[in-house]
Chains A and B, each alone.
Chain A
Amino acid sequence: MRAYAIHVFKRLGQFILVVYIGITITFFITHLTPIDPVEHAVAQVSSFGFSSPESIELLRKSLKEMYGLGDNLWLQYLRFLKRVTVLDFGPSLSAFPTPVGVLIARALPWTIGLLTISTLLSWFLGNILGGLAGYYRKNRLLRLVGVITMGVHPIPYYIVAFVLLIVFTFLLPILPSGGGYEMNLNPGLNLPFIGSVVIHSILPAFSLILVGLGSWYMGMRALVSNIVTDDYVVYAELAGVPRGRILTSYVMRNAFMPQITGLAISIGSIFNGAIITEYVFGYPGIGRLLIDAVHAADYSLVLGIATISIISVSVAVFLIDIIYPLIDPRVQVKP
């Protein structure tokens, strides 16, 4: 138990380091570049109409305060770190005066819901199918599944998603073409709304699962075909243990474990997937928010989303890292 506590402690250190480096990179990317968000915003505001020089000067001053600019860089950096700890990124410019934090909090459940469920599903399906294919090598049906998943795997996600969109909303109009739910419904815990959310998530989730399946399938098949030749499996076969039992409790169980590390990394890349999925399917998550923020040149919103994605990804990886030794007794947690 003590070894485990030390393991958690070390992972916690790593987690804090990741978040710290990520936030620092984000800060310096945005502050050491030639563009000045204040001048940009001033230009945007004054393009709406005539403003007096005094009011522009006033606007400039208050914007500098809002963005936490103006002092020297180190002071700004320290202040930024302090603001991140309370998740305060100031008001958004494109949806003024809603705070960035509120906009993100509104979008985050959509992304996390869609992406977590489809990542887990593709992990689970890919591993089961890959495991079966590794064990029953001669099975025709499993081979066909393998050819399909591996054929889709190298195609860029955007293209798969786009083709699915055309097929299921244009050629066979059976699914909605975009959005997170039917616009005329009342968001909340009622049946029509939940049903609508589920229907709208089918296509994006399916596209993510289809693309993700291949790598799990291949990894699991390779792992299982290595384990199958191990002595204890051969012995079990000779001793007449039923094949189904060998597969579930001798082979799959041991092969599943290394795949968990992979799951941590793919949970980690959730935001990479979110952006393009949400763009293609018009899904109201954090990726969609980021794209809109870039097009609206909303400085604080872009900065806020980048920071939040780094933190939430690190949390996910940290959680899997500390749960892992509890599931797999073979992992040595050395102090």
Chain B
Amino acid sequence: MIRTVRDLFRYNGEFAAGAVIMLVVFTMSLASYFSPYSPIDAYLVPMDVPPSEPYWFGTNSRGQDVFWQLTYALRNTLAFGFVVAVISRILSLTIGLISGYVGGAVDRVLMSINDTFIVIPLFPLLVLLYFVLREDMTWFMLALIMACLGWAYDARLIRSVMISLRTREFTNASIFSGMSTPRIVTEEHLPYVLPIVFSTFMNNMNWSIGLEVTLAVLGFTDVNTPTIGGMIFWANQHSAMVSGVWWWYLFPTFFVTLTFIGLFLLSISMNEYIDPRSRLSRMGNG
């Protein structure tokens, strides 16, 4: 495992860049634990101060220090993406493995449900959920809902790998040697599936963070928990662009873009690691 990571660092520029970016973002989010201010309190510092000595990223029209506010926002946003990705990975892995390995009627039923989830437009559904839940739509509730909606495409991917593994020689060898089905799946097949789980993990985090930002900008989330989207929402509410408080937009936008690029680089480097053909061509080109 450590060797793999070290090799990725050495030979894969995308992985190294992505890892460094994510480290920066993660460090920023950890800084929130040292913040002198509470994330939800307002009017603690002078309003609308441009970036300068005591307030590095300036202050906003709600009397909050943008730097410390941003650390909380990054922490919540990253945690949000992480929670959604973990729960939806569990769902997609379970359903993909069962569907691919068992096959037959189980497969057909699961994939019918799966295809339904792929094509149903999520955004109106999420807005509808916000509409009926209102105050109950907490940060964690939204994460749970998005996890339940975001597994389908990756389950299909895992299933297709599973189907090809099932017909390979070593699967039969394991069956004849008397291994139980759960053991075959977890010990023989899982190692082939895990790299896909990792790469879809990053994509799923990107997807969920993007949706959260979008929903929050519209005010369709719990905007009192600071997230990146929530910060942009409040900036819009105070028409920060018109009053020239550009730093209120700039820093959250910059850091969320950084997060996206970091996760994206990690995911494509992982994809390359999975696909031996592109790995070979990279080595060939030096």
Contacts and interface: CB of A to CB of B under 8 A. Distances in A.
B233 to A, nearest CB: 11
Interface residues of A, number: 45
Contacts of A158: 213-214, 217, 232
Pick from A17, A151, A166, A272 the residue with the most CB of B within 10 Å. Answer: A272
Contacts, number: 112
Interface in A255-269: 265, 268-269
A14 interface: yes
Given A35-B134, A302-B128, A18 B121 contact: no
Interface string A1-21: 000000000000010011001
Contact of A154 (B128, B136, B213, B260): B260
A306 B116 contact: no
A313 B132 contact: no
B125 interface: yes
A166 B264 CA distance: 26
A247 interface: no
B116 A21 contact: yes
Q: Is the interface of A mostly helix, strand, loop or mixed?
A: helix
A293 B161 CA distance: 43
B272 to A, nearest CB: 10
A305 B129 CA distance: 13
B154 to A, nearest CB: 13
Contacts of A25: 120, 125
A122 interface: no
Interface stretch (A26-34, A90-98, A123-131, A180-188): A26-34
A14 B121 contact: no
B257 A18 contact: no
A226 interface: yes
B46 to A, nearest CB: 26
A290 interface: yes
B134 to A, nearest CB: 7
B206 interface: yes
B118 A306 contact: no
Contacts of A118: none
Contacts of A305: 124
B263 interface: yes
Interface string A145-162: 000000101111111001
A276 interface: yes
Given A18-B116, A294-B131, A309-B121, A154 B217 contact: no
A276 B215 CA distance: 9
Interface in A278-321: 279, 290-291, 294, 297, 302-303, 305-306, 309-310, 313-314, 317
Interface of B: 112-113, 115-116, 118-125, 127-134, 136, 206, 209-210, 213-214, 217-218, 220, 232, 241, 249, 253, 256-257, 260-261, 263-264, 277
18 contacts: A14-B115, A17-B112, A18-B120, A29-B129, A33-B133, A35-B134, A151-B261, A156-B214, A156-B257, A157-B210, A158-B232, A159-B213, A269-B121, A269-B122, A291-B218, A294-B131, A310-B121, A313-B119
